[in-house]
């Protein structure tokens, strides 16, 4: 069964027809030609499909497109205008926080989400003081970024990249 929905992706509005089984990830990748979010597992287990969905990081392989009519999506490609980079992206480059690059757009979107969550004072599993400000410590970043698998294992560089971007805000 098909359904018509609207999506706003990286600042551009789209009207599209999707199978009601189509995930948001496949709607972007296979219908709209936006392949910035990646498919690594299709089961919400690897984090490669992470985007900002209505402002919050989200695994869009687990989201049905038809249930997100009218959603606002920012992929890694939409974080900065062409020719420029978001501070998180710049920090990933400088810290060499990736190798093959396949998990990277998801890592980048996840990191943008993490910085926002920390700004809002949301605690994580490793936050000692649940009521005060959250410090962007190694353990905080590593914990919050653990939903994004990196098989090349750039973790040692991802944490300082996120901290660098956090400090640069």
Partner 1 sequence: MTDLLEPRAIGQALVRRDGEQKVRGTATYAYETPVENPAFCHPVQATIARGRVTAMDTAAAEALDGVLAVLTPFNAERLASTDDAEYAVLQSPEVAFRGQLIGVVVAETSELAREVADGITVAYAEQPHDSELRTDRPDLYAPEQVNAGHPTDTSEGDVEAAMRSAEVTVDHTYETQMLHNNPIEPHATTALWEPGADVPLTLWDSTQGVHPDRAAVSEVFGLDEQQVRVVCPYVGGGFGSKGNPHANVMLVAMAARALPGRPVKLALTRQQMFFLAGYRTPTIQRLQLAADRRGRLQAIAIDVVEQTSKVKEFAEQTGVPTRMMYASPNRRSTHRLAALDVPIPSWMRAPGECPGMFGPEVALDELAEELGMDPVQLRIVNEPDVDPDTGKPWSSRHLVECLREGAQRFGWSDRGPGRRREGDWFVGYGVASSVYPTMRQATSTANVRFERGRYVAEIGAADLGTGAWTVLPQIAADALGVDVADVEVRIGDTRYPTASVAGGSSGTNTWGSAVSVAAREFRDKFGTDPHDGDEASGDVDQAAMDEDHAAYAFGAQFAEVRVHADTGELRVPRLTGVFACGRIINPRTARSQLIGGMTMGMSMALHENSVFDPRIGQVANHDLAEYHISVNADVQQIEAHWLDEHDPYVNVMGSKGIGEIGITGTAAAVVNAVHHATGVRVRSLPVTLDKMVPGLP
Q: Kindly list the residues in this chain that would bind partner 1 in the complex (CB under 8 A).
A: 19, 21-22, 26, 29-30, 33, 35-43, 45-46, 48, 75-77, 79-80, 85, 89, 92-94, 96, 98-105, 108, 126, 138-139, 141-143, 145-159
Between CA 132 and CA 134 the distance in angstroms is 6
Q: Strands 12-19 and 71-74, how do they pair? A: unpaired
Instruction: Pick the closer one to partner 1 by CB: 130 or 156.
Output: 156
Q: At its nearest, how many Å lie between partner 1 and the CB of residue 71?
A: 18
Q: At its nearest, how many Å lie between partner 1 and the CB of residue 24?
A: 13
Q: At its nearest, how many Å lie between partner 1 and the CB of residue 38?
A: 7
* Sequence-separated (6 or more) residues with CB below 8 Å from residue 155: 142, 145
Length of the chain: 169
Q: At its nearest, how many Å lie between partner 1 and the CB of residue 52?
A: 13
Instruction: Pick the closer one to partner 1 by CB: 8 or 149.
Output: 149
Between CA 42 and CA 80 the distance in angstroms is 26
Neighbours of 33 (CB within 10 A): 7
């Amino acid at each position: 069964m098909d359904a018509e929905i609207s999506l706003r992706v990286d600042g551009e509005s789209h009207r599209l027809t999707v199978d009601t089984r189509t995930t948001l990830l496949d709607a972007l990748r296979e219908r709209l030609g936006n392949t910035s979010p990646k498919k690594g597992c299709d089961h919400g287990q690897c984090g490669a499909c992470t985007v900002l969905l209505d402002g919050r990081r989200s695994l869009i392989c687990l989201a049905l497109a038809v249930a997100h009519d009218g959603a606002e999506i920012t992929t890694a490609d939409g974080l900065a205008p062409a020719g420029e980079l978001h501070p998180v992206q710049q920090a990933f480059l400088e810290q060499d926080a990736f190798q093959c690059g396949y998990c990277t757009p998801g890592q980048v979107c996840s990191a943008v989400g993490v910085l926002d969550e920390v700004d809002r004072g949301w605690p994580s599993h490793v936050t000692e003081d649940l009521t005060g400000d959250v410090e962007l410590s190694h353990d905080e970043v590593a914990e919050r970024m653990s939903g994004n698998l990196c098989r090349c294992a750039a973790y040692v560089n991802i944490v300082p990249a996120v901290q660098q971007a956090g400090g640069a805000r």
